[in-house]
Amino acid sequence: MRLLTLLLVLPALPGCVLDFDFDDFGSSSEALAVDDAYVEGDLGDVNGVSAEARVVSAYESFGHVDVELRAQGRGWAVMHVLDLETDQLRAGDVYDSDDRTSYVSVLGCSGPSDGQWTYDGFADRVVVEVEQGDDPTKLRVHYYAEYEHHDAPTQVVRGSFDVAQ
């Protein structure tokens, strides 16, 4: 019954409102050890972000790597949710949403405080690059996301984090 209710309500909700764990519905996932996260850029009415981010969730499930990062300061907050179709991150991998060889997306949200989102949308273009981290047991993941607006300049966000191999 919970799954049916979710499937009926899901299309009506903006992406940033959705705060549930797929494990609630019987999927299997493996937690990823992610740290040293950073976000920057402009999104919605929040401009000039350059901040360390906290890792809210990071896991691999059904051939996807999902990482949610949040940062906040006085009068602003941002959330980036990276979703990458891969069963294993490797140094040297590059994923580009324009290539359409694998799925990659960034859901971006911004507003005056964490959870009070006034902007909520998926990036129009995403590029992810994976490199060997400074620590030989970690990979460094960098992402770049563009948000096009019909009535305003394109906005860009960037982020990065380390993930244990």
Strand 119-122 relative to strand 104-111, pairing: antiparallel
pLDDT tens, position by position, 55-77: 999 999 989 999 999 999 999 99
3-class SS at 22?
Answer: helix
* Strands of 97-137, DSSP E: 104-111, 119-122, 125-132
pLDDT at 17 exceeding the cut of 80: no
> What's the burial of 87, exposed, middle or buried (CB within 10 Å: 0-12/13-18/19+)?
exposed
Instruction: Band the pLDDT of 100: cuts 50, 70, 90.
Output: confident
pLDDT at 23 exceeding the cut of 50: no
pTM of the model: 0.85
Q: How far apart are the first and last CA of the chain?
A: 38
Q: CB under 8 Å to 153, separation ≥6 — which residues?
A: none
Which amino acid does the sequence have at 90?
R
Q: CB under 8 Å to 33, separation ≥6 — which residues?
A: 58, 163, 164
Which of the listed ranges 10-14, 16-20, 117-121 does the model predict with the highest average pLDDT? 117-121
3-class SS at 73?
Answer: strand
Q: Tell me the average pLDDT across 11-31.
A: 56
| Structure-token pair, residue 145 | 């996301």
Residue 146's pLDDT is: 98
Q: Tell me the average pLDDT across 131-136.
A: 96
Residue 16's pLDDT is: 76
| Structure-token pair, residue 43 | 């999104």
**CA distances in angstroms from 162 to 105, 119, 165, listed in the order given:** 18, 27, 9
Instruction: Band the pLDDT of 27: cuts 50, 70, 90.
Output: low
Residue 8's pLDDT is: 47
CA 71/CA 61 separation, integer angstroms: 24
Give me the CATH topology for the region 28-164: Porin (2.40.160)
Residue 29's pLDDT is: 76
Residue 87's pLDDT is: 82
> Which DSSP state fits 135?
S
